[in-house]
Structure 1
Amino acid sequence: MIRQLFLHQNWVFRKKGDIEWLPATVPGSVHTDLLSNGKIPDPFFRQQFLASQWVENEDWEYSCRFTVDEEMLERDQIELVFEGLDTFANVSLNNIPVLHTCNMYRQWKAEVKQHLKVGENILLIHFQSPVKTGEKYLRLAQLTYPANNEKSETKVSPFVRRVPYTFGWDWCPRLVGCGIWRPVYLNGWNTATIEHVHIVPASVTEERALIKAEIILKGAYRGRCFLSVWLNDTVLAGSEVTMRKGEQTEEIEFVIERPKRWWPNGLGRAHLYEISVVLEDETRRVQKKTIKTGIRTVELVQEPDAKGVSFYFRVNGIPVFMKGANWVPPDFFPHRVTRQQYKQLIDSCREANMNMLRVWGGAYYEDDYFYELCDEAGILVWQDFMFACAMYPADREFLQNVKEEIKDNVIRLRNHPCIAIWCGNNEVLEGFHYWGWQEEIGKPFVKKAFDEYKKLFHETIPSVLEKYDPERPYRPSSPSSFMLGPPELTSGDFHYWEIIKKDIPLSSYTSNVGRFMSEYGFKSYPALETIKQYALPEDYDPRSEVMEAHQGWPGGRELVERHLLEEFRPPKDFESFVYLSQLMQSLALKTAIEAHRKAKPSCMGSLYWQLDDCWPCASWSGIDYYGNYKAIQYHLKNYFAPVLIIPSADKKKIEITIVSDLPHTISATLQVQLIDFDGIIKKSFRSQLRSGSGVSRSCFQQPILEWTRDIDLRYTVLHIALTEKLRLLSEKLFFLVPVSQLELPDPKIRAEFEPVASGTRIILNTSGFAKNVFIACSLPQTRFSDNFFDMLPGEEKEVLAFHSLVSEAPESAFRILTVRDTYCS
């Protein structure tokens, strides 16, 4: 049997040259170890990250003492395994060098049996400064490699295979460190071990699925073994194997009768099979490795059509409109992310009707548990490789390092049915063409720089994928066109960020719709409860140094203020500004998402930037660092609903479009009412309609004058509902004038609070129209079943508040805010 000995205890660390050793946590990082030992202040509070910049220029040493018994040393082979070392490290065991590392994304192994002894052993790791090491590579470089986001005059990040955002990004600080960021252990085994199993559906029909298991074995010596494949408790196939020393690959085919397909969220169950491979020698079972996987087909369809070239995903033969977000790590320091955080975030995606996440290339390849949750939730993953917003070298050493990185992570992740596509990089091609990089590189060197780009993303990475995962689609860059050139609206995927420019209106989202919108967004400020965690009351001003430091992007505050004042009245105080910034973000993304879905099937994907935050800040996220939902996260359940009502109006007409992602035709009743703020119905319309599977269609067009003659629109709202057999499919409130022009009444909301097993039940009643009712709670990590919602006059609404850290909340912990409450008078 395989025996693992995890080495996560008794670690100490020190700055190279210091005498004193301090306690360390493994997995961990040097910054969090320094923080827990009181050597640096909390970098997330105010601007204290500035006090930690010195860490990046130092070398660090980590050491641990561990005990090995005789039984372990009797194993034929013993390997020291690091799942992640950040980044440049020299490893010695009992004063004998065993390993040198240069890439935090790789798994590192060393055979160490001959260096171990019974009793106490000492492991020592010397981490070299990633910045100083990067500077050595920079001095040797023959080209300039632009790296826009790196917050330093000396751009070393292109040479260092570690998390790009830690060098500074437009929403987070620069904190470059080192550490043992993933598990470390000894692996001891006899005879042979199963290194990897790749489950590959060879052919799938309704009646049967022919599956091939590709099994990589590692032998200690020559001998005979037996391999078998099991589904639950049933053996499906097996074969005898002649082992030899070193690695070898074996294949076993087996059949699953009447296979159940894995479906994306909203289209069916994400069914998973538990397949085990068992290795036995002539006397006993040696090892069992179990893989959870799903049976499905995913194709990226790019075919010429009337508008250019299509770009959509066909899952199990069905075209699927992708709805989701870009994923960034939930914590700046990866080891601090808990399984509960992962689960809450993926559950939030599933509940918001998402079916795809894009794992962004400026971070790291996620933990196995993240992909397991996506498998279970039916959330497809667009997986970037970890290259973002920079040009990269393509010398032999760098390319070989990348090859091993890609190999390690593709082998680790390829059995997950959630992985839909591999993508080479984030915005590197766009940067080369549009961000002034060619001038920075210098005209004589532009061709060489682009040749290096193609060597990395068009040759090296595809060659690894062809060997280890040829079935999945690959795109060299996001965004890019069908011809793999600069992004365009008529083919490929598109990132829309023109909204950040001055004088670009919100309506620009509707006129810039590509074939697949893989990035777009709008910034907002996090909940006041979150701001209180990183700022003092004296900082509660968008223009304060602390607020700007936790906003990061030049022009970000001005963008929010400019659009906010176009859509809403000036806020009376800081809390009102924060609240309205979230409504502004939601309105911006609503405009974009509706445009994308309305353009179906020309546009077949809408992934906003970004789901979450890695540190507490004002950003484009829908869920802040502490897990608090912004307005957009509550509203997404409607924006991404299977059936969506999209109203619009101009000077001539009111139009209503219905978009359906359901796999079947709906027969429904459409009801349209113009209601004033006292609840009186001024105009009404009702009709029956049928909407086909997966289509967008206009179902209501009427002259606007017929609906608005002699009516003051500042006091009215259009209520639209679509029902099928008394079941509400979709509902929308729509205003015929900007919110800033509405004469909102004081809604006089009455609230009743009742403790229940899951948290607090809140019953709301209003006598007048209430715009964007926001229930805030001072208790940390409180979520609501709904929030930031409108209420019609006389409406009663029940909301559940879920408290993660307490069982019961007092009434005093809650407060209620509406748009009317933000007015200066």
Structure 2
Amino acid sequence: MKYSLIAILLLLLTSCEAKHDLPIATALQDNWQFKAVNDSIWHVATVPGNVHADLLDNKLIEHPFIGANEDSLQWISETDWEYKTTFSVPNETLSKKHIALNFEGLDTYASVFLNDSLILKTDNAFRAFSVNVKSVLKPQNKLRIVFEHTSISEEQEKAKLGYQLPEGNRIFTRKAQFQYGWDWGPELNTSGIWRPIMLETWNDLRLEDLTIKQRLLNDSIADMTATFDIKSEVIKDKELVYEVYVNDVLHTTSKVVQKGHTRTVPFQIKSPKLWWPHNLGDPYLYTIKMVLKRNNSIIDSVSIKKGLRTIALVTENDTRGESFYFKVNGVPVYMKGANYIPQNSMQNKVTDAHYEKLLDDVVDANMNMLRVWGGGIYENDIFYDLCDEKGILIWQDFMFACAMYPGDQSFLENVQDEATQNIKRLRNHASIALWCGNNENSEGWHRWGWQANRSDEEKDEIWNNYLKVFDSILPKTVNEFTDAPYWESSPKYGRGNPKYQFEGDAHDWWIWHDAYPFEHLEDNVPRFMSEFGFQAFPSYEAIRYINQSDSLEITSEGFKNHQKHVRGFQLIDAYMKRDFPVPDTAEDYIYLSQILQAYGITKGIEAHRRAKPYNMGTLYWQLNDCWPSVSWSSIDFFGNWKALHYKAKTSFENVLISNTVENDTLKTYGINDSLTGFDDTFTYIITDFDGKVMGTGTTMNTQLNANSSQLIHTLDVANLNINKDEVVVATMFANFHSYAYLVKPKDLKLKKGAIKKTISKTSNGFEIKLESTTLQKDVFLYTKSKGHFSDNYFDLMPNETIIIEFKTQEGSLDDLKIKTLNDLMD
């Protein structure tokens, strides 16, 4: 419940003479201390938080993100930790009929003591727990929570099982799986009070679990219901008035008598404004308030933001297999985006500003969908609130990843409660497009050798336990509590199954893991690509932080600890040699690794988009980092855009001109994700790297249909009187353009040449004007000043001027440097 709105409601909804007895919730976040259970010295703690962050803030450990410090901190996860606080409760609060302590997130095996009475034991970091403490609470109170390290329970559960489940003991504990270490993140298995603890009091009645449902939605009417639960002991229905306010205007007053604890109040919105993904329209949100009154007094109230939209996952048989696409408001929508992981291994370090900036970066890069990956967390409310506001759709995994899980009754009941709570918490969000059961569990079972050396009985039991969760509990719970679609496992088929390309969603890791060339992405397009990626080094800033040095050393043991893929450096090097010149210096190598990543992944993005409507989505791995590292991210830990994020911004534009060369034919596609078609003139211009025109052509009245991908031009380059390694082809349609090269980057005969730069101060930073007499490939602007370039890693055409904005709070830009691919060519 959003009690911060109480004061506003008192002013807006009642007269000054009315009496109010509203539920009150107070966060217990002060006076916390912590220590190791076997220690005697207490230290200041932050709540919400975690033990790693508390140890760091008290300067009891070195920062785990620096060098190889992570390795020396593994003792933390093998230690039991204790937290305590004291708090006062006034007599007025003690006199309330109902008093509860609500624990919104304890990580993970916790024993909670209030005034030395054991009131709760927990075993799931993803669940909230509520305890009636009316009989235990006093004017002065002591709250103590003991966290047992996870390996104790995990070993006990493992011993009960009688056989080994993939992948390790993490599968027994319901907490963020990535904390056990991943191929992009550290092993920091933390514990603590990671979400708020609230003291909630109320007297006669409490309203909870408000759900706004759409019974009918069209251009003229939104037929809605507000469904909610009532916690009440003495109030009768006939004494209550239910009021629904839409954008602060009273829409419905109801005195209908109903049986049971769940109430439903119908209301309508005329000429409703629809919620759209930001690239197709306005993500409009209504403010809907439910107010309960008795004798003109407010007893309780809840307010939520609600976007009105329909969404469907369409999986229908066709001539090539089975479709996989989303319809929003009845319109097929092409999904463009990335996979999202937790923003920090120490979650309390993620501020509201971090959420705001990262999701602004998502919108700025023309993405309309993020996939919340199943090895992380069900995100904080602010994440989904901002996605609603910004028009970003969410593919929401349940928190199961890359493993097989147990199926005993206790585990299944735990999962049931976890699913129910999180679905209910998130179901009002317009941004939730899909609930997906797990990440790669099914693929792992069928393709990763997990069945080897097991008896048939054992294999049957493991698979049946899988079905209990992902084919029974989760889909039934999704169906019961929300209208969102459910998908069992991502991907539907592993890449060992030929059906992966024709049905469902796909993860293509032939790129990277199997070292296939990037061209594989162009030749093997699935119905929906929900994962594919390639690593790159982070920014110079991140590397200097890791090394705690001004140098860009990338061979030290400390830095190598931030490459968690066993073949990561080797694969980057192998791919670079295929397509690019290999630099001599670390600074150049870091730069070129980002160009390499962007080159390969955008090749895939554009191939997917060209195949529309056969393919209807492309989500690359991964958007962000949880610590500074060499990883698949397009934005590094410090929020710096890698080349991939800049290039993806272009490749994700609503209208895209995309080129590909097939058998000496340059094919130009017009891709239009907008819902309006148009026609204009198509032009191509072939120039050499000094700007000399080698050929040109124009086609009038070229039509580009709404929500489509079309081949709009072909050019036979075999018969042109040009040297393919010395030209660039500019393809232009309306106000959109693209540059095509006819050979690999390493084969281009780029010329050395100076770039003229002119820097001017602006109110938000600086304007940078760039000019060159020769083509400059992959121009990289960099500085130690903290800020953001409006564009980077771009191609500067000969004799043209580009203006770049650098947004910063710095007063000067004296150290601006420029690096290009030209500089690296022999």
- Shared fold, TM over 0.5: yes
Inter-partner Cα distance in structure 2 for 1:652 and 1:570: 27
Q: 1:503 to 1:135 in 2, by over 3 A?
A: closer
Q: How does 1:476-491 map to 2 (within 5 A)?
A: 476-480=488-492, 488-491=500-503
**SS of 1:131 mapped into structure 2:** helix
- Matching of residues 381-530 of structure 1 within 5 Å: 381-439=394-452, 441-469=454-482, 471-480=483-492, 488-501=500-513, 504-530=516-542
The match for 1:704 is 717
Residue 360 of structure 1 aligns with which residue?
373
Q: Which runs of 5+ in 2 are unaligned?
A: 1-21
| Secondary structure of the corresponding residue to residue 500 of structure 2 | coil
Q: Which residue of 2 aligns with 1:22?
A: 43
1:627 corresponds to: 639
SS of the residue 2:624 aligns to: coil
The residue type equivalent to 1:226 in the other structure is: V
Q: Percent identity?
A: 37
- Partner residue of 2:83 out of 62, 69, 81: 62
Decide whether the 8 Å contact of 1:94 with 1:121 is kept in 2. Answer: yes
Match of 1:255 among 259, 268, 273: 268
CA apart distance, 1:269: 0.6
Which of 365, 384, 392 is the equivalent residue of 1:379? Answer: 392
Residue 818 of structure 2 is aligned to residue 816 of structure 1: yes
Shift of 1:542: 4.3
Where does residue 158 of structure 1 map in the other structure? 171
Q: How far does the alpha carbon of each residue in 1:239-292 deviate from its partner, in whole angstroms, 9 at most, with x for none?
A: 337799xx8110011010011111112111111111000012336212210010
Distance 1:461 1:218 in 2: 27
Corresponding position: 1:743 with 2:745: no
1:403 is paired with a residue of what secondary structure?
A: helix
Q: One-letter code of the match for 2:27? A: F
CA distance in 1, matches of 2:257, 2:62: 58
SS of equivalent to 2:479 = helix
- Offset at 1:733? 1.2
Shift of 1:572: 2.2
Structure 1: which 5+ runs fail to align? 148-154
Which residue of the other structure, out of 235, 238, 252, is the alignment partner of 1:237? 252
Deviation at 1:501, TM superposition (A): 4.4
Residue aligned with 2:231, SS: strand
Write the distance in 2 (CA, Å) between the matches of 1:214 and 1:486.
Answer: 45
Instruction: Indicate conservation of the 8 Å contact 1:76/1:220, yes or no.
Output: no
What is the DSSP-based 3-state SS (H/G/I as helix, E as strand, rest coil) of the residue aligned with 1:138? helix
C-alpha contact 1:82 1:109 (8 A) present in aligned 2: yes
Shift of 1:233: 2.5
SS of the residue 1:350 aligns to: helix
1:130 aligned onto 2:182: no
Classify the secondary structure of the residue corresponding to 1:821.
helix
SS at match of 2:451: helix
Look up the equivalent residue of 1:693 and give its one-letter code.
Answer: A
In the alignment, structure 1 residue 716 sits paired with structure 2 residue 727: yes
Give, in whole Å, the separation in 1 of the partners of 2:455 and 2:68.
36
Q: 1:486 to 1:363 in 2, by over 3 A?
A: farther
Give the alignment's TM-score, normalised by structure 2: 0.94
Residues 442, 777 of structure 1: CA spacing in aligned structure 2 closer, same or farther, 3 A cutoff? Answer: farther
Contact 2:25–2:201 (CA under 8 A) maintained in structure 1: yes
1:793 aligns with 2:798: yes
- Give matches, 1:592-671, under 5 Å: 592-671=604-683
Q: Which amino acid aligns with 2:451?
A: Q
Task: Quote the Cα distance in structure 1 between the aligned partners of 2:180 and 2:234.
Answer: 46
The change in CA–CA distance for 1:190 and 1:257 in structure 2 (over 3 A counts) is same
- The count of residues paired between Structure 1 and Structure 2 equals 800
Please give the per-residue CA displacement for 1:540-575, whole angstroms capped at 9, x wherever unaligned.
454442333111011111111111121111212001
SS in 1 for 2:649: helix
Deviation at 1:791, TM superposition (A): 0.5
Alignment partners' CA distance in 2, 1:55 and 1:704: 63
Give deviations 1:486-531, integer Å, cap 9, x for gaps.
9621111100001124552111111221111111011100011111
Change (3 A) 1:503 1:350: closer
Name the CA distance, whole Å, in 1 between partners of 2:604 and 2:547: 32
User: Structure 1 residues 220 and 88 mapped into 2: Cα distance closer, same or farther (>3 Å)?
Assistant: farther
Matched residue SS, 1:125? strand
Contact (CA 8 Å) 1:760, 1:808: kept in 2 or not? Answer: no
Partner of residue 304 from structure 1, selected from 291, 295, 317:
317
How far, CA to CA, are the matches of 1:792 and 1:466 in structure 2?
54
Q: For 1:376-401, what per-residue CA distance to the aligned partner results, in whole angstroms no more than 9, with x for missing partners?
A: 11111000000000100111100101
Match of 1:151 in 2: none
Q: Which moved more, 1:748-757 or 1:171-180?
A: 748-757
1:622–1:632 CA contact under 8 A, matched in 2: yes
- Distance (Å, rounded) in 1 between the aligned partners of 2:431 and 2:732: 34
Give SS of 1:684's match. Answer: strand
CA contact (8 A) 1:771 1:818 kept: yes
Indicate conservation of the 8 Å contact 1:539/1:545, yes or no.
Answer: no
Contact 1:573 1:822 (8 Å CA) reproduced: no
- 1 CA distance for matches of 2:665 and 2:501? 28
Q: Do the aligned residues in 2 keep the contact of 1:665 with 1:692 (CA within 8 Å)?
A: yes
Take 1:811 and 1:375, find their aligned partners in 2: how far apart are those partners?
37
Query: Does structure 1 conserve the Cα–Cα contact (< 8 Å) formed by 2:544 and 2:552?
Result: no
Matched with 2:14 is none
**Maintained 8 Å contact 1:773/1:788:** yes
- Could you tell me how far 1:650 is from its partner in structure 2? 3.8
How far 1:202 sits from its partner (Å)? 0.3
Report whether the alignment pairs 1:3 with 2:24: yes
**TM-fit CA distance, 1:442:** 4.7
Matching residue's letter, 2:489: S
CA contact (8 A) 2:544 2:550 kept: no
| Counterpart amino acid of residue 37 in structure 1 | N
Measure how far apart 1:590 and its partner are. 1.2
Note closer, same or farther for the CA distance 1:91–1:220 as it changes in structure 2 (3 Å cut): farther
Q: Which one of the candidate residues 768, 776, 788 is aligned to 2:774?
A: 768
1:106 and 2:127 correspond:
yes
Contact 1:421/1:472, CA 8 A, preserved across alignment: yes
Provide Cα deviations, 1:645-683, integer angstroms capped at 9, x if missing partner: 121224432221211112121202111111111111111
State the 1:765 CA deviation.
Answer: 1.7
Q: CA deviation at 1:57?
A: 1.1
Partner of 2:6: none
**Distance of 1:445 and 1:437 partners within structure 2:** 11
Question: What is the aligned counterpart of 1:198 among 211, 214, 217?
Answer: 211
**Distance in 2 between residues matched to 1:218 and 1:487, nearest whole Å:** 50
Report the aligned-residue RMSD: 1.7
2:785·2:813 contact (CA, 8 Å) conserved in 1?
Answer: no
Match of 1:150 in 2: none
Aligned to 1:144: 164
Aligned residue for 2:386, secondary structure, equals helix
Query: Could you tell me whether the CA contact under 8 Å between 2:371 and 2:619 is conserved in 1?
Result: yes
What are the Cα deviations for residues 557-608 of structure 1, in whole angstroms up to 9, with x where unaligned? 1111111121111212001111100010001111111111111111111011
Distance 2:618 2:65 in 1: 31
- The separation in 1 between residues aligned to 2:123 and 2:312, in whole angstroms, is 35
2:758 and 2:142 map into 1 onto residues whose CA distance is 62
Q: TM-score scaled to structure 1, two decimals?
A: 0.95
Match of 2:19 in 1: none
Distance 1:233 1:40 in 2: 51
Cα distance in structure 2, aligned partners of 1:668 and 1:220: 69
Amino acid at match of 2:794: F
Query: What is the Cα deviation at residue 481 of structure 1?
Result: 5.1
Moved more, 305-314 or 712-721: 712-721
Change (3 A) 1:38 1:160: same
What is the CA–CA distance in structure 2 between the aligned matches of 1:242 and 1:188, rounded to whole Å?
A: 26
Query: Do the aligned partners of residues 637 and 501 (structure 1) sit closer, same or farther apart at CA in structure 2, a change above 3 Å counting?
Result: closer
- 8 A Cα contact 1:429 1:486, kept in partner: no
* Residue in structure 1 matched with residue 600 of structure 2 by the alignment: 588
In 1, Cα distance between equivalents of 2:553 and 2:457: 48
The alpha-carbon deviation at position 196 of structure 1 amounts to 1.1
Residues 308-319 of structure 1: pairs in structure 2 closer than 5 A: 308-319=321-332
